[in-house]
Amino acid sequence: EVQLVESGGGLVKPGGSLRLSCAASGFTFSSYSMNWVRQAPGKGLEWVSSISSSSSYIYYADSVKGRFTISRDNAKNSLYLQMNSLRAEDTAVYYCAREVVVVVAATRYNWFDPWGQGTLVTVSS
């Protein structure tokens, strides 16, 4: 079974740091790009960051650029998100999601599947 399990969330004070982890199983982790997506309480989905299979390509949303760092360890089938200088507006459930890319007849398709169950990060004094 393809599965993603996040951990590392919790309560942190503004300006603090937290490191999230996402453990992958049931698929060849090293073959897929991975993403972090967050959802503030009662709000919609916001893409946070992505990392290619070999870590060659890394992207961030403007809202976290310079504060968050995405990384992965293919030997451990794990994805990470190091979050520094946390703000109240970073409070959210953080999901990791596998990015699936399929090329059919020279057309590239991509989507996120599956998603982990999420881990809650609360930034509050």
Partner 1 sequence: EIVLTQSPGTLSLSPGERATLSCRASQSVSSSYLAWYQQKPGQAPRLLIYGASSRATGIPDRFSGSGSGTDFTLTISRLEPEDFAVYYCQQGGTFGQGTKVEIK
Contact footprint for partner 1 (CB under 8 A): 37, 44-47, 50, 59, 61, 95, 100, 107-118
DSSP 27: S
In angstroms, give the least distance from the CB of 80 to partner 1. Answer: 19
Q: What is the C-alpha separation between 39 and 94, in angstroms, rounded? A: 7
DSSP 116: -
DSSP 99: E
Nearer of residues 16 and 105 to partner 1, judged by Cβ: 105
In angstroms, give the least distance from the CB of 24 to partner 1. Answer: 14
Nearer of residues 42 and 66 to partner 1, judged by Cβ: 42
Q: What is the C-alpha separation between 25 and 2, in angstroms, rounded? A: 6
Q: Which phi and psi angles does 76 have, rounded to 5°?
A: -105, 5
Single-letter amino acid code for the residue at 58: I
In angstroms, give the least distance from the CB of 29 to partner 1. Answer: 18
Q: What is the C-alpha separation between 38 and 47, in angstroms, rounded? A: 6
Nearer of residues 22 and 125 to partner 1, judged by Cβ: 22
Task: Copy the structure tokens of residue 47.
Answer: 């893409």
In angstroms, give the least distance from the CB of 54 to partner 1. Answer: 19
Nearer of residues 80 and 119 to partner 1, judged by Cβ: 119
